[in-house]
Amino acid sequence: MNKRQFLSTAALGLGAAALPGHAAKPSKTPGGPVLLTLTGAVGKSNRPAFDPAFDQMLGKHKVSFERAYSFDYAMLTALPAVTIKPTLEYDGKPHILRGPRLSQVLKVAGVPDDGVRILLQAIDGYAVVVTPAQIKQYDFILATERDGLPLPLGGLGPLWAVYDADRIPELAGKPLKERFALSPWGVYHIGVQAG
């Protein structure tokens, strides 16, 4: 194996996976396009601080940070996925949504279970603030799929922070149009605010 091949194999993380006795672990640094960046009070960091030159969209959304943890699609889909079937306000029909639990994604980035507020921010700037307790109570998922197909950018994706509103008593009684205000589609940034 020449040096170039070795380096590209190592960069793909295949080196460790190919060793006997080493189970393939989910990648800790994104190899594909980053879809989600957690910033602020994250316990783990896998990218440099905010770069005003190249973190253009984060900058437009007035985000700045020292520490951040980023995920690509493979890192998210490597986490255990759950399936929910809420009635959606867009067509009034139940749909199968699938993706990792938001609490699990936060855990991977070392976000504490309490004493923080969680900003969920979408590509169009729409943002909500929730607590870890609320994320657990609603059992938020970070949906990557609807009805078996990946969520498109330009539609509700690629990531949609959503919950099974039909199964949440305080939401199930509300009109459909009032159930999903805490549910940003196209979420790309999660700001973890301490205190």
Ligand X SMILES: Nc1nc2c(c(=O)[nH]1)N[C@H]1C(S)=C(S)[C@@H](COP(=O)(O)O)O[C@H]1N2
User: According to the binding rule CB under 6 A, does residue 95 interact with ligand X?
Assistant: no
| By CB under 6 A, residue 180 contacts ligand X | yes
Q: Residue 123: which of 90, 154, 89 has the closest Cα?
A: 154
ω before 100 within 30° of 0 (cis)?
no
Which of 75, 181, 183, 193 forms a contact with Mo ion (CB under 5 A)? 181
Q: Which stretch binds Mo ion (CB under 5 A): 1-9, 107-115, 116-124, 179-187?
A: 179-187
* Pick from 88, 103, 107: nearest CA to 185: 88
- Which residue type is seen at 77? T
- CB-nearer residue toward ligand X: 46 or 183: 183
Tell the residue number behind the tokens 């029909």, with chain if given. Answer: 93
Residue 10: CB atoms within 10 A of its CB come to 11
DSSP string for 128-177? EEE-HHHHHHHT-EEE-EETTEEPPBTTTBS-EEE--GGG-HHHHTS-GG
Name the minimum Å distance from CB 133 to Mo ion: 22
Least Å distance between CB 11 and ligand X?
34
Closer by beta carbon to ligand X, 46 or else 144? 144
Residue range at the interface with ligand X (CB under 6 A); choices 70-78, 79-87, 107-115, 183-191 = 183-191
Nearest-approach distance from CB 178 to Mo ion, in angstroms: 7
Contacts with Mo ion by CB under 5 A lie at 181
Contacts with ligand X by CB under 6 A lie at 89, 122, 124, 126, 177, 180-181, 183-186
